[in-house]
Each structure stands twice: as structure tokens, then as C-alpha cells.
């Protein structure tokens, strides 16, 4: 197991290098002079040149990139042009909000998605099945920002049960976590349904039923347990989707998280903050995928990573 973990961690290095290259080229491809954009049209040439020197954009691209990667290796993601604070400190100050929102949304997704998927699979082609699949299709189809606005309109304006924005108290997380979780639960519901239907007709399930095992034990102990690997995979993938989805949701609900920080950095042309946020979110995502791979051996003892 240890050798497999080390091997996977080494495989993450090329992925993260690719992320740094993408983030760097993304900023380099911005039309116009970034220093002029930041300084404004009324700035003098001397002021623009100072910003160029600060960003290091007057150097060749290769030299800029190697300097950028060298700073990352030392734990320096640069300094925010908007606040003049280290980008890493800015990200860490907002990270708890984004993590809490992501985990609450993931909890909503798992609970609603599994319940809808199991309810649909146990009665295929029934009214319950059709309602569950219509619900999942609604969750997949509706844009997150539209659902957020509708939730604010209903539950903050017409029914003033929850605040429409903020992130200082737990009640501020209720609506955004429901929006993100419900939008992602549709995919999990459909996958759970298909995974259970694929296993429910196998020999060991029929044997359990022939022995008189109660149906709820057949579904939850035998069928669902053997359908967990694809479910765990999609949960891990959706974690990254939810983490990225906070960019929109945190903006709609005015939450002080990394997602809103990215949007504000883009509006201000704060290129170090944009690059640092992309790299930080990508690193979290690839580490979560590694944890998902390792969890397979816990769910299915036949899977071994010793070799």
C-alpha cells in the first residue's frame, strides 16, 4: 500500500506541472498589456513600468515560468495586486468557508442522491421510479446560478427563513449547500439506480432472496455494498465539481470563500491571485482523487495495492 501511495504521489507531479503551465499561459494569453490594464488608462509610463517589473512580465516567457515554478516550490504563490498580501494567506483565510460549503453540499448530494437512486432501482418503471428520474434530470439540467437566485427569492424574500448572503454563521450555509447538493445529486441518483439494477439480478442476490433474507437487507447489505465502487468514484469526482461550483455559488450568496475570491481577482485582473487559486484548487482535487482510489480497497477487499 505504501509503495502504491508513493507511486501515485509521484504521478501527481506531472499533473501539477501541467496545471502551473496552464495557469501561467492563461494569464500570458490575456489580450493587451496586463500592466496597463492594472494601472488604468490614466497611468503614466513610469507607473506602468513599475507594475511590469513587479509582475516580471518584461522578461522572456520561459524565464517568467521558471521563476513562477521556483516560487511555488518554495511555497510562495505570489502577492495579491489588489490587497498587497501573500496570495497563500488570502486563500487560507477563505478556505474554511469553501471547505464547509463543499462538505455540506456533498452531504446533501449523497443523502438525496442515494435515497432517490435506491427508491428508483427497487421499483423500476414505476411511478416512484419516474418521479425520481424526473427529479434527477431537473437537478442535472438547472444551472446553479438560476437555482441560487430562485432559492433566495423563495426562502429569503417570500419566506424569510434564511439569509440571502454572508458566511459568518451556519445558517448562511443552508441555502448554498442545498443549491450545490441538489444540483449534483441528480447524477448520483442515476448512477446509483443503474449500478443497483446491474447487480440486483446476479446469482448471489437471487440466492439471498431464495434463503428468505429480508428485502431491505438484500438491497442495503448485498446489492448496495457491491455497487459502491462506481458510486464512490462519482462522489470523488463531484467533490471537485462542487469545489469549482463554489465560484458561482459563493458569488450569488456573497460568501467570503475561495470561489468569490477568484471572481473578484478576475474582475480586478489580479493575475497572481488567479494563478494561485487555480493551482490550490487543482491540488486539493487531485489529492481527493487519490483518496478515492485508496478507498476502493476498503469497500472491496479483493482490491489490493501491494504490487
30 and 114 share one domain: no
Whether 79 is in a domain gets the answer: no
Residue 269 lies in domain = 88-299
CA distance 92 to 239: 19
Per-residue model confidence (pLDDT) at position 164: 81
- At residue 132, the 3 state secondary structure works out as helix
10, 40, 73: which is the final residue of a domain? Answer: 73
- Are 172 and 104 in contact by the 8 Å Cβ rule? The answer is no
125 and 198 share one domain: yes
Per-residue model confidence (pLDDT) at position 187: 83
Whether 61 is in a domain gets the answer: yes
136 and 221 share one domain: yes
Q: Output helix, strand, coil percentages for the chain, rounded to the nearest 5.
A: 80, 0, 20
CA distance 278 to 262: 8
Per-residue model confidence (pLDDT) at position 50: 76
81-137: pLDDT as tens digits: 777 788 888 888 888 888 888 888 888 888 888 888 888 877 777 887 788 888 888
45, 73, 101: which is the final residue of a domain? Answer: 73
281 and 256 share one domain: yes
201 and 60 share one domain: no
Whether 167 is in a domain gets the answer: yes
- Are 195 and 114 in contact by the 8 Å Cβ rule? The answer is no
37-70: pLDDT as tens digits: 666 667 777 777 777 777 676 777 787 788 878 8
- Are 282 and 72 in contact by the 8 Å Cβ rule? The answer is no
For the residues 158-184, what does the mean pLDDT come to?
84
173 and 234 share one domain: yes
161 and 222 share one domain: yes
60 and 115 share one domain: no
**What's the structural domain count of the chain?**
2
- Are 113 and 182 in contact by the 8 Å Cβ rule? The answer is no
More confident position, 28 or 302: 28
Highest mean pLDDT among 24-28, 86-90, 302-306: 86-90
146 and 50 share one domain: no
The CATH number covering residue 166 comes to 1.10.3720.10
Whether 81 is in a domain gets the answer: no
Amino acid at each position: 500500500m505504501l509503495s502504491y501511495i508513493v507511486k501515485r504521489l509521484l504521478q501527481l507531479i506531472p499533473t501539477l506541472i501541467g496545471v502551473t503551465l496552464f495557469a501561467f499561459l492563461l494569464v500570458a494569453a490575456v489580450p493587451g498589456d496586463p500592466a496597463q490594464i492594472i494601472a488604468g488608462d490614466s497611468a503614466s509610463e513610469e507607473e506602468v513600468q513599475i507594475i511590469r517589473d513587479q509582475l516580471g512580465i518584461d522578461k522572456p516567457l520561459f524565464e517568467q515560468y521558471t521563476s513562477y515554478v521556483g516560487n511555488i516550490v518554495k511555497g510562495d504563490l505570489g502577492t495579491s495586486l489588489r490587497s498587497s498580501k501573500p496570495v497563500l494567506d488570502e486563500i487560507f483565510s477563505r478556505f474554511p468557508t469553501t471547505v464547509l460549503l463543499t462538505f455540506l453540499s456533498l452531504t446533501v448530494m449523497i443523502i438525496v442522491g442515494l435515497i432517490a437512486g435506491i427508491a428508483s432501482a427497487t421499483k423500476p418503471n414505476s411511478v416512484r421510479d419516474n418521479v425520481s428520474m424526473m427529479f434527477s434530470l431537473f437537478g442535472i439540467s438547472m444551472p446553479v446560478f438560476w437555482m441560487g437566485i430562485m432559492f433566495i427569492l423563495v426562502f429569503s424574500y417570500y419566506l424569510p427563513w434564511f439569509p440571502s448572503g454572508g458566511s459568518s454563521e451556519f445558517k448562511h450555509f443552508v441555502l448554498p449547500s442545498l443549491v450545490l447538493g441538489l444540483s449534483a445529486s441528480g447524477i448520483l441518483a442515476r448512477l446509483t439506480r443503474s449500478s443497483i439494477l446491474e447487480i440486483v439480478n446476479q446469482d448471489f442476490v437471487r440466492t439471498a432472496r431464495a434463503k428468505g433474507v429480508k428485502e431491505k437487507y438484500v438491497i442495503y447489505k448485498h446489492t448496495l455494498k457491491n455497487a459502491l465502487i462506481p458510486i464512490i468514484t462519482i462522489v470523488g469526482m463531484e467533490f471537485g465539481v462542487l469545489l469549482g461550483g463554489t465560484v458561482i455559488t459563493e458569488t450569488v450568496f456573497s460568501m467570503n470563500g475561495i470561489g468569490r475570491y477568484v471572481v473578484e481577482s478576475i474582475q480586478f485582473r489580479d493575475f497572481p491571485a488567479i494563478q494561485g487559486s487555480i493551482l490550490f484548487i487543482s491540488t486539493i482535487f487531485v489529492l481527493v482523487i487519490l483518496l478515492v482510489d485508496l478507498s476502493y480497497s476498503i469497500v472491496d477487499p479483493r482490491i489490493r495495492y501491494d504490487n
